[in-house]
Amino acid sequence: MTSPFLRVSDEVRTALAEGRAVVALESSLIAQGLPVPHNLETALAAEAAVRESGAVPATTALDGGRLVVGADRELLERLADPERSVAKSGSRDLGPLLAAGRLASTTVSATMRIAHMSGIAIFATGGIGGVHRGAASSFDVSSDIDELAATPVAVVSSGAKSILDLPATLEMLETRRVPVIGYGVDEFPAFYSVTSGLQVAHRVDGPAEAADAVRAHRAIQGSGGLLIVQPPPADLALDVAEVDAWIKDGLRDAIDTGVRGGAVTPHLLGFLARASGGRTLGVNIGLIVNNARTAGLVATALMDRP
Q: How far is CA 230 from CA 17, 218, 222, in A?
A: 30, 21, 26
* Alpha-carbon gap, residue 144 to 195, rounded angstroms: 22
User: Given 161, 171, 209, 242, which residue is catalytic?
Assistant: 161
CA distance 41 to 270: 19
* Active site annotation includes 88: no
CA dist., res. 278 & res. 302, Å (int): 37
- Whether the Cβ atoms of residue 23 and residue 263 lie closer than 8 Å to each other: no
Question: What does DSSP assign to residue 84?
Answer: S
Instruction: Return the exposure string of 67-88: e unless at least 16 CB atoms fall within 10 Å of the residue's CB, then b.
Output: bbbbbeeebbebbbbeeeebeb
Catalytic one among 26, 41, 52, 209?
A: 26
Told to judge if 161 belongs to the known catalytic residues of this protein, a careful annotator would answer yes
Residue 65 in contact with residue 101, Cβ under 8 Å? yes
Q: In this structure, is the dihedral angle defined by the CA atoms of residues 133, 136, 141 and 147, taken in order, positive or negative?
A: positive
Residues that are catalytic = 26, 161
